[in-house]
Chain A
């Protein structure tokens, strides 16, 4: 069993919704959690829900690459090497494309797509050097058939699928089997973004599973809670997978 007490997990978007629920769950399982968010009040509210000794927070806007680089360096200097990263921060403006200014549209992309990239850029070198790290990117299938008023959101979420697979393509599995990057699709969850779906706390066990995977387990894959999603899979590959599921 993994000794979680000394492992540091950084959670972005910790001030609300799924991010907050993950902080609560991780601290109750003994992880050292550093919550990242834009507003101190919201983060303080999360802290009130968490185990006091094992949760700390820091105000960083993930859309600001310099702030992410400096803030994450400060976290590693203060608390020690980061083992896990959960990119939960996202915004969803729910406005028509033609009603958004270019700046508003870009900011949504910056938070949802560039934010996770900046966080990975800051933490991956250390994870590779230490031969240990887990990255979970909270994603969505909003890109597959976008609904109205989701242009920037669905574009950014589509980009995340590519980001995860692109990062994995640059990491030699044989050499770094203990650095795993996966995408987690929480599905419809009752947060500020949605009035329907399961409660945020229901997502935690599946995020925990991805954080606690052992070396050599899947990387660069997409999990919709408990089951795996295969994007643009060819029919032949699908048949082979169904026949030899264990071989993948």
Chain B
């Protein structure tokens, strides 16, 4: 693993950079890597600090760790997790929670990630309005699947994706490596899925499966075995292509001169670049734009139509376990099975489901129970921690090593679902989100479809209601062809600004029924290719973009 602080520099304010990348998550890392390979002088500004992937085996104090409510913000940040609570306001009621979002080099892809699935052809076309409801924003993509497919292939190559093609999708020409053999139990489940007509396939995962691999899901991978933004893009950009990094640099705003970004501000520091790539994540990028006000942009950059921050989408991800009858060994890869049989049933978008690849630990169940207690009962009644711990242990015993699955149900974009800057909230912004009725209906439909088709495996849903996946925030700076309905041009350039591009999850005009990682990666490659060509054409002055350098040294 790269020692990030070794590459973190000071005095970056004194240089005029070709490109500043705000946020070294998946999209930013890949865009920066791609541009650095073209010989451009790239600076990454990352809000998180150096992360540490090496877990010390919990020998002492395991008990205390289990019952302690949460790690400190510093501890969460050091292990790559978003440190502060997020505030979500729903039906007028606010609550703070710790989100499953990454922080620091690689962003969410370094902590979670690994599932790198393509969207389907239908996701690129506008959803007919009778399916998405009248209130939802129009969600067509300004380019079609065929135009995007080559970037998917390039991203799959970069992220060393393993798996098998989806048998139900003739467009799935994914560039896949071989995944290791299934465990006996997953083999059994695979056949059971097949017999139920679910058309299962091996989930597309960016894992190199080095000897002794544990898939590191839910934590940083110390061996560069998991393909994430840090291991596959940021690290080679710094070590081989001369890019630089500033850690613990939270960008506040962008200063505009005419139709160009002149500098990037972080507290008292100002960084200058010919071009800025914004990739702070779908929850943060729109806030940076909205805080960047000027006479021309009183509501923030690119916000002429009050769209920046709006159209926020999360998937619904319900968790369930299956019972594998018989005594099959579960030893083997864990992030294995996926099905898209319900992706589009008679025009209704239910989505997909897939292996989580994590064992259910007592600690997880306990945290879940404490959270449920706090949300369903008045605040004044403190959760009976010991009792809940016993309940968690009992639940863990009943479920045993049962395989965990999660659904991914598409969320449609609505104007009223948004992220708004708010200095009083612990993370500096609030999420305003109302769960649309039609989403609840589709999520419930997905549940009943799984219950019916897999009845022999006794699916048992663990999450109480339609569980929003806060790890998949999308759509807050939509790209599109019409200025009234999109913040970004089809090139992902912020409308009205010559040298500002957005390459994180905020560009999605629709969320699709799959993990967004691969699409973010592919789009970052697509946009950076466009940027490099514009540099080569002299558009940003003193451009010296060259054909990309070979990555292998």
Contact = CB atoms under 8 A, between A and B. Distances in A.
8 contacts: A124-B211, A124-B212, A128-B212, A129-B211, A169-B57, A170-B212, A175-B331, A178-B331
Given A129-B180, A171-B212, 5 more contacts: A125-B211, A128-B211, A174-B359, A177-B331, A178-B331
A110 B518 CA distance: 46
Nearest to A173: B57
Interface in B123-177: none
A105 interface: no
A131 interface: yes
A125 B209 CA distance: 11
Nearest to A236: B60
Contacts of B359: 174
A131 B331 contact: yes
Interface of B: 57, 180, 211-212, 214, 331-332, 359
Contacts of B332: 131
B214 to A, nearest CB: 4
A176 interface: yes
A30 B388 CA distance: 52
A188 to B, nearest CB: 32
A170 B55 CA distance: 10
Q: Which 9 A-B pairs have the closest CB atoms?
A: A125-B211, A172-B214, A128-B212, A128-B211, A175-B214, A131-B331, A171-B212, A169-B57, A129-B211
A157 to B, nearest CB: 24
A57 B350 CA distance: 61
Interface of A is mostly: loop
Contacts of A171: 212
Contacts of A124: 211-212
Nearest to B332: A131
Interface in A143-198: 169-172, 174-178
Interface of A: 124-126, 128-129, 131, 169-172, 174-178
Contacts of A172: 212, 214
Contacts of B211: 124-126, 128-129
A216 to B, nearest CB: 11
A137 B384 CA distance: 48
A143 B211 CA distance: 32
A129 B181 CA distance: 10
Given A129-B180, A131-B331, A131-B332, A176 B57 contact: no
A110 B332 CA distance: 35
A126 B212 CA distance: 9
A165 B211 CA distance: 18
Contacts of A125: 211-212
A45 to B, nearest CB: 36
Interface centre among A128, A129, A175 (most CB of B within 10 A): A175
A170 B57 CA distance: 10
B453 to A, nearest CB: 30
B457 to A, nearest CB: 23
B361 to A, nearest CB: 10
Contacts of B212: 124-125, 128, 170-172, 176
Contacts of B57: 169
A172 B213 CA distance: 8
Contacts of B214: 172, 175
A88 B365 CA distance: 46
Nearest to A168: B57
Nearest to B56: A169
A128 B359 CA distance: 19
Interface centre among B211, B212, B332 (most CB of A within 10 A): B212
Nearest to A170: B212
A221 to B, nearest CB: 14
A79 B212 CA distance: 23
A124 B212 CA distance: 8
A236 to B, nearest CB: 10
Nearest to A174: B359
B364 to A, nearest CB: 14
Contacts of B180: 129
B113 to A, nearest CB: 19
A178 B329 CA distance: 12
Contacts of A129: 180, 211
A171 B332 CA distance: 14
Nearest to A175: B214
Nearest to B333: A175
Contacts of A131: 331-332
Nearest to B180: A129
Contacts of A170: 212
Contacts of A169: 57
A146 B211 CA distance: 37
A169 B331 CA distance: 19
Nearest to A176: B212
A170 B54 CA distance: 10
A152 B214 CA distance: 36
A4 B331 CA distance: 22
Nearest to A167: B212
Contacts of B331: 131, 175-178
A89 B167 CA distance: 53
Nearest to A131: B331
A4 to B, nearest CB: 21
A163 B291 CA distance: 54
Nearest to B60: A237
A1 to B, nearest CB: 19
Nearest to A234: B60
A170 B180 CA distance: 20
A171 B212 CA distance: 6
Nearest to B222: A170
A58 B212 CA distance: 28
A173 B214 CA distance: 10
A169 B57 CA distance: 7
Nearest to A177: B331
Nearest to B359: A174
Interface centre among A174, A177, A178 (most CB of B within 10 A): A174
